[in-house]
Amino acid sequence: MTALERAIADPTPVPGIGTTSPVDGLERRSVGFVDVLAQSVSAVAPSAAATTIPLMVAVVAGGSTLWAVAVAMVLSLLIATTVNQFTRRFAATGSLYTYVSKGLGTSTGFVAGTAMLIGYGFISMFALAGAGYYVGIVLGRVWPGVTGNPVFTVALIGAMAVVVLVVIVRGIRLSTRVTLLIETVSVAIILTLIVVLLLQTGPTIDLTAFAVTGTTPANFAVGAVLAVTAFVGFESASTLGVEARRPYASVPRALVWTVIAAGVLYLLATYSQLVGFRALGLDLTSSASPVNELATAYGVEWMGLLLDLSIATSFVACAIASTTALARVLFAMGREGVVASAFGRTHRRFRTPYVAAVVGVAVVALVPMVASAAGSGLWETMQTLILIAAAGYITAYVLTCVAAPVFLHRIGELTPWVAVRAIAAAVLLAAGVVGYLVVEAASTRWFGVLVFVLLMGAGLVYSVVMRRRRPWVHGTIGVHDVPVAADVLGGPGFGGPALGGPAPRGTPGPGSTPPSRGL
């Protein structure tokens, strides 16, 4: 018998190891890298963003649209690599809320948590509204009366919300694989159209698309922030830190690769739309539906139906992924006592935070349904919802970029390059989001700015009240997964397998690393 076999057969007891994790109840260590990547990609909704963001950015950034998208991609990479300073050290469901709590304290962490709930919640509303809008367009091709009909729209959004709820309650693997399938097909359709457009416009590169003209520094900055909204949600893979099979390896890779893949797609889509309209002698900003108009102009009108279907399904995938992340942040808060403890319950069979999912889906579906019933157009509603969501995400990103160097300095692992990267991202994002909100406050979407400010204010008031009535709660914020008896050789109750047999449930994979010191 080897030393390893003797250690397994008669392990030395390890004191201080419990039998359950603070996040017990979730399906721990059950999903692989592809599932984790699918969560991030679906939350970003790249195919839907690739068809809508170039126009939104071009309206503000003018001739510098391509550069604004490129700057947004670099900025998102800075954020992703900074967030990864935490994902390599914590397996948590609270995402940025937990990370900021670890770096800047529980009070600031609560601010980040409020911002993340706003971000995930309103992007889910935006996605459901977008899915309803594009499904209405698709059905309107054969049944013209349904497009814009409020009763039909409310029923449609309600039906899709039920589908979203069933998928996310049924299990994390079903959720990630459904969204992966949808996004793969959607991106394939968008890439096909891009290739067709580039072949039609000629084999040479149109250098005029790279010119920096027709904009001011302020408008360029606002355009870049708008382009950042096409990347928000990439960090949602971190909410699967407990359920990921190799969290300290797969989550950081998923965040970075999502930004890179989505960024390349956005640059290709933006370039093809710019040169496509220029070849026609038209202006991209004058179009109401650029991709459909280009498909018609270049003789591939048949792709219009496929495009609308792909955008609609991409929005559904985004709603599933974003609500999945929302439910897990609420789950973490429920376990901490920040919100009602019922949010911290998990389904006995499916091992998902079903209470948080039910409440989350009900709220995110109700808003676009009420707006539609009140007579507000879905497209106009979507513009307001994405504004609120973007402000929430970027606020949380800023706090995370400030928290990372503080946290790393505290544990003695701060390096100059990480500090420069995090500070640069925080400064650029903070300046960008302030300018963005100021510009939007003077536009027809001022109501969105007001809602964001009021919600953040309500979160702060709730934090103060909670500190006075339940001061012990601040000592519980920052819950994350920890090693349990089943993870270690010699833990209490360890019943290890025979050498060469299957690993005990919950055993970290080869890519896992133990938490750093000083956590």
Mean pLDDT by runs of 10 across the 519 residues of the chain is 75 73 88 92 89 85 90 96 95 94 93 96 94 87 78 92 94 85 86 85 79 80 87 94 93 96 94 88 80 82 80 90 95 94 94 96 96 87 92 96 97 95 95 88 92 96 90 87 77 44 38 38
Give the pLDDT score at 217. 83
For residues 102 and 84, give the distance between their C-alpha atoms in angstroms, rounded to a whole number.
Answer: 14
For residues 275 and 272, give the distance between their C-alpha atoms in angstroms, rounded to a whole number.
Answer: 5
Give the pLDDT score at 341. 93
**pTM of this prediction?**
0.89
Nearest Cα to 178, choosing from 441, 17, 27, 186?
Answer: 186
User: Do the domain assignments include residue 460?
Assistant: yes
Give the pLDDT score at 219. 82
For residues 179 and 258, give the distance between their C-alpha atoms in angstroms, rounded to a whole number.
Answer: 14
| Per-residue tokens: 473 | 């709660």
| Per-residue tokens: 11 | 């392990």
For residues 75 and 82, give the distance between their C-alpha atoms in angstroms, rounded to a whole number.
Answer: 11
Cβ partners under 8 Å of residue 497, min gap 6 = 8, 503, 504
Look at the block and give the residue holding tokens 């103060």. Answer: 464
Give the pLDDT score at 491. 57
User: Do the domain assignments include residue 365?
Assistant: yes
User: Do the domain assignments include residue 390?
Assistant: yes
User: Do the domain assignments include residue 352?
Assistant: yes
User: Do the domain assignments include residue 515?
Assistant: no
User: Do the domain assignments include residue 505?
Assistant: no
CATH code for position 371? 1.20.1740.10
User: Do the domain assignments include residue 516?
Assistant: no
Phi, psi dihedral angles at 23 (to 5 degrees): -110, 30
User: Do the domain assignments include residue 499?
Assistant: no
**How many C-beta atoms lie closer than 10 Å to residue 468's C-beta?**
7
For residues 433 and 319, give the distance between their C-alpha atoms in angstroms, rounded to a whole number.
Answer: 24
Give the pLDDT score at 305. 79
Range of the domain at 368: 29-484
Give the pLDDT score at 265. 94
Cβ partners under 8 Å of residue 94, min gap 6 = 101, 113, 239, 328, 329, 332, 333, 478, 479, 480
Give the pLDDT score at 332. 95
Q: Count of domains in the chain? A: 1
